[in-house]
Chains A and B, each alone.
Chain A
Amino acid sequence: MSSSTTASRSLSRAGRRARGRSRGRSGSLPRHRGLIVGFLTLPIILYAVFVLSPYVQAIYISLTDWTGFARRLNFVGFENYTRVAHDDLFWTGLKHNLVMLAVLPVLTIGLGLFFASMLNIDRAGRGVRGSSAYKIVYFFPQVLPVAVIGVLWQFVYTPRSGLLNGLLGTHHAWLGSPDTALAAVLAVGVWSSVGFYVVLFSAAMGAIPQEIYEAVALDGAGRWRTFFQVTLPLLRDTVRVGLIYVSIGALDGFAIVQLMTVGPGGPDNATEVVGLTLYRRAFADGQFGYACAMGVVMLFMTLTLAVILQSRRREVGR
């Protein structure tokens, strides 16, 4: 659900790869010491103060009872972590994050693959007619501000005058009833990110050599067999990258829930996510130490997930 970070991660990957290729630099210490120090100092300070130090401090603060405003703070060990384990709201939020983790990758990656193969199915050297226009339209939600997406969809789901009920001829309060609220939020997540994967997978499909398809076509393979036995295996790495992005996004979900749902997180905590619980504990309840403990738990979950998805690939790759 996080929109711009996904794109930036993807770009940075290109950066990392290109970096491995580059050899031979033009200068070295001590001849350029002044330049090196001069050019690096400001970026490093800015980054260390505002990015790195908060992450490090979070671990320390999570071991204290700090309210954030009082001067005093006491070291309380792992007490906050014990409290997290007994916090019902945390577990409710985590459950919903896990539902997102189960649903979002399947729908987003699945639809992304489906539309990408549709666009690239004409193997006569080019895509389906108008494929670049489709890609432009599909990708558009990816560049929308998340606030616009959230507020707009809130109105799409409005009971009386909303777009969805108008189309269906119903008057259902999609975000107002606990049965449909989470699904309604998930649908927005899928809506906003499918286009990104269509573009990503289209690019990967475009790079598959034409001869492979010609050979399979001679063997008389149908469209489905071609997709599952040729296209998908060749796209495995790109799909895995996509899975990592979607999964990390599924463990967040803060912005869209906060913008769209009643409460937010409601009704009846039906759309609560961990990010929202953390935000509320910190900035509404003034429990900074406790909120940090929650953040550290989520950090380890995210890292664990990333490691699992990475290592799975290594096993398969061998």
Chain B
Amino acid sequence: MKRTVRRSGIHIPLLAWATVVGLPLLWMALSAFKNDKEIIDDPFSLPSQLHWDNFGRAWSQASIGRYTMNTVIVVCGALVLTMTLGAMAAYILGRFEFRGRKIVYYGFAASMTFPIFLALVPLFLVASNLHLVGTLYGLILIYAAYALPFTIFFLTPFFADLPHEYAEAARIDGAGEIGIFVRIMVPLARPGLVSVAIFNFLGLWNQYLLPIVLMPDEKQFVLSQGLAALAVNQGYQSDWSALFAGLTIAVVPVLAVYIFSHRTIQAGLTAGGLR
């Protein structure tokens, strides 16, 4: 009896933290369905009716729709580029012995220990010399460049550990090297590629620092910038409900990805945490 009581006592602090984590998010989602008067006067009440129009207003008038499209374009472009180039480099670094291999590998690794904001000023200059500031394709290139080190780091051992027999058999059958990579190695490495792609998606979707430096024009804003600007603007216009709707719109994609892949994400962390 005593044991049961003590055990359920464990849930008190655990539920308390779950509340601390969940409550602000629940509040955000509920506020997204209220009107402004309810948000200000009854911050805790449930919405009297579901104001779906908040989402419409956020999407079109507050430009969340355009920012979302910009984000989707940039994140998808960068994801394809990073995964392609990262897989190519990791395949070479993981499976071929050549002079300078270690230099290339640790060269990619080096930047992972530097905080990004130290590179901001020169990066802005590089981008502006190449006429990439304020362009979506410029942001795609730069997102991809900054996602490469992690991608290569994770995928190199993955490719290195794949069995050699398939590739050798294909070589004997006369397959070309690129064919071996595309048709044999990439499918074999799929689990690794999927985890890295999930992590890259979350990281790029949430990126804030790079776009505020590289996207000064409001038309090219990505979602995170747009939300920050919206928070300032709606503060003046007091359109709180549209702002909460905008925040909710920004959370839905990451929530979906997280719910579907939390096992993969936790497994990835576990592999990193155990030494």
Q: Do A and B bind each other?
A: yes
Task: Report which A residues bind B (CB closer than 8 A).
Answer: 2-5, 7-19, 21-22, 24-29, 32-33, 35-36, 39-40, 42-44, 46-47, 49-55, 57-58, 61, 68, 111, 114-115, 118-119, 121-122, 128, 130, 134-141, 143-148, 150-156, 160-163, 166, 191, 194-196, 199-201, 203-204, 207, 237-238, 241, 248, 251-252, 254-255, 258-259, 275, 278-279, 282-283, 288, 291-292, 295-296, 298-299, 302-303, 306
Task: Report which B residues bind A (CB closer than 8 A).
Answer: 7, 10-11, 13-14, 17-18, 20-25, 27-28, 39-41, 43-44, 85-86, 88-89, 91-92, 94-99, 104, 107-127, 141-142, 144-146, 148-150, 152-158, 160-161, 164, 167-168, 177-178, 181, 195-196, 199, 202-203, 205-209, 213, 223-225, 227-228, 230-231, 240, 243-244, 247, 250-251, 254-255, 257-258, 262, 265-266, 268-275
List residues of chain A with CB within 8 A of the CB of B268.
Answer: 7, 10-11, 14
* B119 CB contact (under 8 Å) in A4, A21, A22, A55: A55
Q: A16-B153, A145-B254, A156-B24 known; A46 and B145 CB under 8 Å? A: yes
- Provide the bound-state CA to CA distance between A120 and B63, in Å: 46
Whether B117 pairs with A254 at a CB distance below 8 angstroms is yes
Whether A43 pairs with B118 at a CB distance below 8 angstroms is no
List residues of chain A with CB within 8 A of the CB of B88.
Answer: 39-40, 42-43
Ranked nearest first, the 4 interchain pairs of A and B with the lowest CB-CB distance are A18-B157, A10-B272, A147-B224, A4-B203
Whether B154 pairs with A15 at a CB distance below 8 angstroms is yes
Q: A55-B118, A255-B209 known; A36 and B254 CB under 8 Å? A: no
List residues of chain A with CB within 8 A of the CB of B27.
Answer: 156, 163
List residues of chain A with CB within 8 A of the CB of B44.
Answer: 166
Q: A11-B269, A27-B96, A191-B21 known; A42 and B85 CB under 8 Å? A: yes
* A58 CB contact (under 8 Å) in B110, B118, B156, B196: B118
Whether A151 pairs with B247 at a CB distance below 8 angstroms is yes
- Provide the bound-state CA to CA distance between A160 and B207, in Å: 31
- Provide the bound-state CA to CA distance between A146 and B196, in Å: 20
Whether A137 pairs with B22 at a CB distance below 8 angstroms is yes
- Provide the bound-state CA to CA distance between A13 and B154, in Å: 8
A143 vs chain B, min Cβ distance (A): 5
Q: A199-B266, A291-B121, A296-B118 known; A237 and B227 CB under 8 Å? A: no
Whether B95 pairs with A12 at a CB distance below 8 angstroms is no
B274 vs chain A, min Cβ distance (A): 6
Taking CB as reference atom, which chain A residue is nearest B195?
A: A11
Whether A12 pairs with B208 at a CB distance below 8 angstroms is no
List residues of chain A with CB within 8 A of the CB of B213.
Answer: 283
* A53 CB contact (under 8 Å) in B122, B167, B230: B122
- Provide the bound-state CA to CA distance between A258 and B98, in Å: 46
Q: A57-B125, A140-B21, A141-B21 known; A28 and B98 CB under 8 Å? A: yes
Whether B104 pairs with A161 at a CB distance below 8 angstroms is no
* B273 CB contact (under 8 Å) in A8, A153, A200, A295: A200
User: Which one of A114, A147, A194 has the highest number of Cβ atoms from chain B below 10 Å of its Cβ?
Assistant: A147
List residues of chain A with CB within 8 A of the CB of B272.
Answer: 9-14, 200
Whether B223 pairs with A147 at a CB distance below 8 angstroms is yes
Whether B115 pairs with A252 at a CB distance below 8 angstroms is yes
A80 vs chain B, min Cβ distance (A): 12
Whether A49 pairs with B91 at a CB distance below 8 angstroms is no
List residues of chain A with CB within 8 A of the CB of B269.
Answer: 7, 10-11, 196, 199-200, 203
Whether B111 pairs with A55 at a CB distance below 8 angstroms is yes
Taking CB as reference atom, which chain B residue is nearest A196?
A: B269
Whether B18 pairs with A140 at a CB distance below 8 angstroms is no
Whether A15 pairs with B156 at a CB distance below 8 angstroms is yes
Whether A27 pairs with B228 at a CB distance below 8 angstroms is no
9 residue pairs A–B, Cβ–Cβ below 8 Å: A4-B207, A8-B112, A27-B97, A39-B89, A40-B92, A58-B121, A163-B43, A207-B274, A299-B115
* A279 CB contact (under 8 Å) in B117, B154, B243: B117
Whether B154 pairs with A11 at a CB distance below 8 angstroms is yes
A199 vs chain B, min Cβ distance (A): 6
* B113 CB contact (under 8 Å) in A35, A36, A296, A303: A303
Q: A4-B199, A10-B269, A283-B213 known; A26 and B208 CB under 8 Å? A: no
Taking CB as reference atom, which chain A residue is nearest B91?
A: A39
List residues of chain B with CB within 8 A of the CB of A11.
Answer: 150, 153-154, 195-196, 199, 268-269, 271-272
User: Which one of A9, A61, A144, A201 has the highest number of Cβ atoms from chain B below 10 Å of its Cβ?
Assistant: A144
Whether A146 pairs with B206 at a CB distance below 8 angstroms is yes
List residues of chain B with CB within 8 A of the CB of A130.
Answer: 11
Q: A25-B97, A50-B141, A115-B13 known; A295 and B118 CB under 8 Å? A: yes
Taking CB as reference atom, which chain A residue is nearest B118?
A: A295
- Provide the bound-state CA to CA distance between A122 and B7, in Å: 9
Taking CB as reference atom, which chain B residue is nearest A297?
A: B118
List residues of chain A with CB within 8 A of the CB of B154.
Answer: 11-12, 14-15
